[in-house]
Amino acid sequence: MNYFEFNKKFPTELACIKHFIEVRYKGNIGCRHCGSTKVYHRLDTPKVFQCADCHNHFSIFKDTIFENSSTDLRKWMYAIHLFLNGKKGISGLQLMRETGVTYKTAWRMLKQIRTAMSSDTMKGAFEAIVEIDETYVGGKPRKGNKGRNDKGESTPNKRGRGTNKTPVVGIIDRENKQVHAKVALPNKDGKKLSGKQLLSILNEVAKAGTTVMTDEFSSYNILSKNGFIHLKVDHTKEFTSGINHTNNIESFWAKLKRGVYGIYHSISVKYLQHYVDEFCFRYNNRANANTFDLLLMQTIRK
């Protein structure tokens, strides 16, 4: 959907409300109290419906990210439109300039949209051949830029494993080209990316018996002991050995990092999972022509 199509589809706030009713209720809205279909718009606020039978009123945006928001619905829809059309996302400052809201409101809107992008529909869905790999998100190592090790001692900040940056573990299904990624915070011992952590994340989406492609990282050795067929590629010698490679998940990491470095620049660990969910949603729905309505459905809190 381009800018002109958006303006034609959502010329008024009432048009936004009607579209959301179509998406959420398939056009057949019913009273949340008694189930009656004899409902009508309140004249003072079109977001609220009145039931002709039980006389109760209810909001069609109950249990969604739009609930209790005083921001114009057209601005919400336009924010979602801009967010989805931006291949690498959109910053809070850019959204502020585009919609005329304050930066605080723009930041909150983007946070709520990212929350809607998270999904648990892929649990147990990966069962053919998957690739698993990890990346590290944070500032680039610079001379004199030091971090802290597990003992709290000052150490040089380096790249890759052993860095003080935050690890993110990603899994991609080669058959359906879907990706699942999760921030791996330090465990109770303060260590990062133990075998148990990797196994736990893999178990969220993959079934026992799945063929798993990894590199030579020793923590992956636990996979073959827990019902997975584990194949490795030694990146010190080659990047591809027949079907043994992790090129697909590494391609996803490239998209994630280009968005982080190019648009967002700096992300706190507290909100990192929301940004990871954003890029997973973008990747998983890159060929979906109905992404806008899908995201509207996901704004409904379970």
Contact yes or no for 213/130 (Cβ under 8 A): yes
Residue among 273, 266, 251 nearest 138 (CA): 266
Residue 118: Cβ within 10 Å count: 14
Residue 116: Cβ within 10 Å count: 22
Q: Considering the entire predicted model, what is its pTM?
A: 0.86
Domain ranges of the chain: 3-117+290-298, 129-267
- pLDDT on residue 41: 80
Residue among 174, 46, 157, 61 nearest 116 (CA): 61
- pLDDT on residue 91: 93
- pLDDT on residue 162: 60
Burial of residue 98 (number of CB atoms within 10 Å: 0-12, 13-18, 19+) = middle
From residue 20, alpha-carbon distances to 68, 162, 292 in Å are 16, 47, 11
Residue 263, Ramachandran bin (φ over 0: left; ψ between -120 and 50: alpha; else beta): alpha
Angle between the N-to-C axes of helices 291-298 and 103-117, in degrees from 0 to 180, rounded to the nearest 10: 90
* Assigned token pair, 256: 């994630």
Question: How would you write the pLDDT of the chain (302 residues) with one tens digit per residue?
Answer: 888 999 999 999 999 999 999 999 887 888 888 888 888 887 677 888 888 999 898 888 999 999 989 999 999 999 999 999 988 899 999 999 999 999 999 999 999 999 999 877 666 678 789 999 999 987 665 655 555 555 556 666 666 666 678 899 999 999 888 999 999 976 655 566 888 999 999 999 998 889 999 998 889 999 999 989 999 988 878 788 778 899 999 999 999 999 998 898 888 899 999 999 999 999 999 999 999 999 999 999 86
Residue among 110, 79, 82, 122 nearest 280 (CA): 122
Q: What is the CATH number of domain 129-267?
A: 3.30.420
